[in-house]
């Protein structure tokens, strides 16, 4: 599903942000990426969403080889990957419903189908009844679940969650993690980055540790101690 082969990313400053990273993620896997700040986790995800291009190395996601991907095709790629951000990135002037529906409008889905799809997704993330709220009226955890709803509404095969619990208290953080697990059970590959030891240790999933731009460990059912 996701394949990275000796991927290196250098910014102009000093050393490389990522150095010769090789990774393989199977379909339907739930993978947690951990590591200290500045280790290169966010860079890795930005390479996957094509916000950044690698300096060298090969990236293949869902059968798309990034080397041959044209700029024009980037929107099509992003529609296949759901992304959840630490700062939610919701549209502040739109309601919960509109935020989720927006992801479908972009791809040109008809209004009828949108009306049919959005409630089901809001139900999955546990936001039924809050369709008309504005993002500012919601708690952090609720906002993040709106963001997740938006990320999965197009049924992507891959969901990338970049520190989705970073701004949340433990209770809300777990709400979000439970939703991610649920989505994973439905068959979506989930890639999660986090700092939260407790979450990592309780989930007992494959854990990839990145430090100074390289993979230092990659173990199944692993625990993590910073």
Applying CB under 8 A, the residues found at the interface with other proteins are: 49-53, 55, 71-72, 74-79, 83, 85, 89-91, 93, 102-103, 105-108, 150
d(CA 151, CA 64): 19
Nearer to other proteins, 148 or 208 (CB): 148
Question: Closest distance between other proteins and the C-beta of residue 51, in Å?
Answer: 7
Tokens, residue 179: 């939703």
Q: At what angle are helices 96-106 and 140-152 packed, to 10 degrees? A: 20
Listed in sequence order, the residues at least 6 apart from 179 whose beta carbon sits closer than 8 Å to its beta carbon are 124, 125, 126, 145, 148
Q: Residue 171 Cβ, how far from other proteins at the closest point, in Å?
A: 27
Nearer to other proteins by C-beta: 34 or 84? 84
Least spacing, CB of residue 98 vs other proteins, in Å: 12
Check if the beta carbon of residue 24 is closer than 8 Å to that of residue 212. no
User: In terms of CB distance, is 87 or 223 closer to other proteins?
Assistant: 87
Parallel, antiparallel or unpaired: strands 30-34 and 189-193: parallel
Query: Judged by CB, which is closer to other proteins: 22, or 55?
Result: 55
């Amino acid at each position: 599903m996701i394949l990275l082969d000796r991927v290196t990313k250098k910014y102009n400053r000093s050393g490389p942000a990522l150095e010769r990273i090789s990774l393989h993620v199977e379909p339907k896997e739930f993978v947690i990426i951990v590591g200290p700040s500045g280790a290169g986790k966010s860079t890795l995800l930005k390479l996957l969403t094509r916000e950044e291009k690698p300096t060298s190395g090969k990236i293949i996601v869902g059968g798309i080889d990034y080397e041959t991907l044209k700029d024009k095709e980037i929107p099509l790629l992003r529609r296949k990957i759901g992304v959840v951000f630490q700062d939610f990135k919701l549209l502040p002037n739109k309601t919960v419903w509109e935020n989720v529906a927006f992801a479908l409008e972009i791809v040109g889905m008809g209004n009828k189908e949108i009306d049919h799809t959005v409630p089901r997704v809001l139900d999955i993330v546990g936001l039924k009844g809050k369709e008309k709220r504005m993002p500012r009226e919601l708690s952090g955890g609720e906002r993040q679940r709106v963001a997740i709803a938006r990320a999965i509404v197009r049924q992507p095969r891959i969901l990338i969650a970049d520190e989705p619990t970073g701004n949340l208290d433990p209770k809300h953080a777990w709400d979000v993690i439970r939703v991610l697990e649920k989505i994973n059970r439905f068959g979506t590959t989930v890639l999660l980055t986090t700092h939260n030891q407790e979450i990592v240790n309780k989930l007992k999933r494959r854990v990839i540790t990145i430090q100074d731009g390289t993979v230092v460990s990659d173990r199944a059912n692993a625990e993590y101690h910073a």
